Amino acid sequence: MDTLIFATQLKIMANEVNENESKDFTKNWVTSSRFLFFLSVFALLIFVNAGCFKLYTQRYKGTPDVEVQSSSKFKPEYK
């Protein structure tokens, strides 16, 4: 009787191990490759957005008011 119970428990445990192996990240190639693909796409999007934000914060804000000597203009004015 004990051997029958032990054999039944072994079958149940073997089925649970097989079910867990199909859900495991390292055992299932399809799930792991899909996860790594989406992770790399997400990382690339974060990298591009961070670069665009950095360029936006350090953008050229316009022409400053610089005094140019009157003798160095396109039409120079001499005294």
What pLDDT is stored for residue 72 in this prediction? 84
Environment class of 31 (CB within 10 Å of its CB; exposed 0-12, middle 13-18, buried 19+): middle
Residue 46 lies in a domain: yes
Low-confidence ranges of the chain (pLDDT < 50): none
Which residue range(s) make up the domain with 31? Answer: 2-56
pTM above 0.85, yes or no: no
Position 51, amino acid? G
Domain count, the chain: 1
Residue 68 lies in a domain: no
What pLDDT is stored for residue 50 in this prediction? 97
Residue 8 lies in a domain: yes
Residue 78 lies in a domain: no
What pLDDT is stored for residue 41 in this prediction? 97
